Amino acid sequence: MEREQHLVDTLDACLDQVRGGQTIDDALAEHPADAEALRPLLDIATRLECLPDPNVSLAGLMKTLGRLGSQTLTASRAEPAPRKVRWFSRPVWTRAAAIVLVMFLIGWGTVNASAGAMPGDFLYPVKLFTERARFFLTLNTEDQAELRIVFSSRRLREAVAQQQRTGQADPQILDQMLEEARLAVLAAPQLSEPNRQLLVSRAAYLTDYQRDALDRFTSTGHPQEQVIARYRDMCWERGRWMRQMLAPGEDAAPSNQQPQAQPNWRRWCDDCPMW
């Protein structure tokens, strides 16, 4: 019994030493009388620590994250337990409200599901519809322009995704990309000076980024090289056009005159490069 307790304690001490970086031989050097009994146990312990990890399936991990997401949602919507009333015993208006709510939830779910949809996907038209609805529900000009910049950025992402998936980028999507950015900056004359500078500089930055992205297509021997080069060149033209209005002081009006900013910006809008 005492012998076993001695081995128990010595084994634990040796395991700590091995875990700390010593070899089994080094750890046992201090306990020569126990080496024969402990060496095989230390050897097995070392081999246990070297067992490989199981393959983690992405599906399993995603399922877990999905359960956690549902759990979070349920917790955040936790409410007292409803009274047990038979559904069909409720008044007519309650049933109508329930139907509207269910339809709303279905619609909301579809809208959410469509957020990542790409051209050709079943839900892509829902995504475009949602964008339009969101735009028309936005009353502020500045916010509308911001939305258009977001939409333009999305069109580029969709064109790239489509090109990667099918090998072809749809020129119609690239047209929309350019048009959304153009319409965004055309709102500039209606904004106050700092906001219009900010808007145009954001649009110019996005346009430069779009030009670089399209340039990558054309430099890799893409089958649509000529078509995409047209859009890339247009991005270059538009970027240059936008930057014309970003130079400080260019638009400043003399203090003793009627502000000239608005007309200048309007004239600038008319100069937007087009096909």
Partner 1 sequence: MNDDELMGLLEGARSGETEALTALCARYYPKVLKYMRYRVAADLAEDLTSEVFVRVLKNLNQQQGSFPAWLFRIAERVVVDDRRAAGAKKRTVMTAMTEQYEAQAHDNASVPDTVAAWIDLEQAIGKLSDDQRQLVTLKFIEGLGNDDVSAIMDRSPGAIRVLQFRALSALRGLLAGREVRYGT
Contacting residues toward partner 1, per CB under 8 A: 4-5, 7-9, 11-12, 15, 40-41, 43-45, 47-49, 51-57, 60-61, 63-65, 67-69, 71-72, 75-76
Question: What whole-number distance in Å separates Cα of residue 55 and Cα of residue 114?
Answer: 32
Residue 67 or 240 having the CB closest to partner 1: 67
Look-up: residue for tokens 């246990």? 48
Residue 54 or 91 having the CB closest to partner 1: 54
Contact criterion met (CB below 8 Å) for 169 and 159: yes
To the nearest whole angstrom, how small is the minimum distance from the Cβ of residue 56 to partner 1? 5
Look-up: residue for tokens 């990667």? 164
Contact criterion met (CB below 8 Å) for 24 and 45: no
Residue 15 or 111 having the CB closest to partner 1: 15
Contact criterion met (CB below 8 Å) for 231 and 214: yes
Question: What whole-number distance in Å separates Cα of residue 114 and Cα of residue 222?
Answer: 29
Residue 72 or 110 having the CB closest to partner 1: 72
To the nearest whole angstrom, how small is the minimum distance from the Cβ of residue 19 to partner 1? 8
Residue 66 or 120 having the CB closest to partner 1: 66
To the nearest whole angstrom, how small is the minimum distance from the Cβ of residue 123 to partner 1? 23
To the nearest whole angstrom, how small is the minimum distance from the Cβ of residue 42 to partner 1? 8
Question: What whole-number distance in Å separates Cα of residue 72 and Cα of residue 74?
Answer: 5
To the nearest whole angstrom, how small is the minimum distance from the Cβ of residue 108 to partner 1? 19
To the nearest whole angstrom, how small is the minimum distance from the Cβ of residue 14 to partner 1? 11
Record the tokens describing residue 117, joined without a space: 């949809």
Considering just the CA atoms, what is the radius of gyration of the chain in Å? 33
Residue 26 or 193 having the CB closest to partner 1: 26
Q: How many Cβ atoms are within 10 Å of 165's Cβ, its own excluded?
A: 11
Residue 13 or 126 having the CB closest to partner 1: 13
Look-up: residue for tokens 């109508």? 96
End-to-end CA distance of the chain: 94
3-class state of residue 75 by DSSP: helix
Contact criterion met (CB below 8 Å) for 145 and 199: yes
To the nearest whole angstrom, how small is the minimum distance from the Cβ of residue 135 to partner 1? 27
